[in-house]
Amino acid sequence: MIVWFPDPAGDGYRAVEMSQELVRLELVCRPCTVRQPMLQRFVRARGGGPVGVLPFGVKGVGQTASAFHVRDGVLKWRLVCPHGHDTYVSEPDVAAALDAVERGDAPPRVAL
């Protein structure tokens, strides 16, 4: 499976073939009350490691990874839904959510 990892310098993504078992977290749009669209799918190898992005498709159209930026050493993704809602999520928040999913303390699909 190909996973995209953000470059810490903010220079884009690098694609990596992953063979390990992955923990997945799907973020969907909370303001959209009906049929919440997928915003982004994040993954990480079981047991820890860097957070990556798993591209997905919407209505047959492949979605690339969301735009991101690094400010003060913290990586943040801008997540935009097809209806114009947008929000930001940081790498530490995604890592904490992936930890919770891996422990079984949180569902793998979260409205944000």
Residue 108 is predicted with a pLDDT of 94
Q: pTM for the complete prediction? A: 0.85
State pLDDT tens for residues 18-65.
Answer: 888 999 999 999 999 888 888 899 999 999 999 998 877 666 556 666
Spell 51-77 as b/e; 16+ CB within 10 A means b. bbbbeeeeeeeeeebbebeeeeeebbb
State pLDDT tens for residues 10-20.
Answer: 678 888 888 88
Average pLDDT over residues 91-103: 95
pLDDT band at 70, cuts 50/70/90? confident
Give me the numbers of helices (H) and strands (E) for the chain, helices first please: 1, 11
Give how far Cα 5 sits from Cα of 8, 22, 36, Å.
Answer: 9, 14, 25
pLDDT above 90: percentage of residues in the chain: 39
Which alpha helices (DSSP H) does the chain contain, by range? 91-103
Residue 54 is predicted with a pLDDT of 86
CB 52 within 8 A of CB 59: no
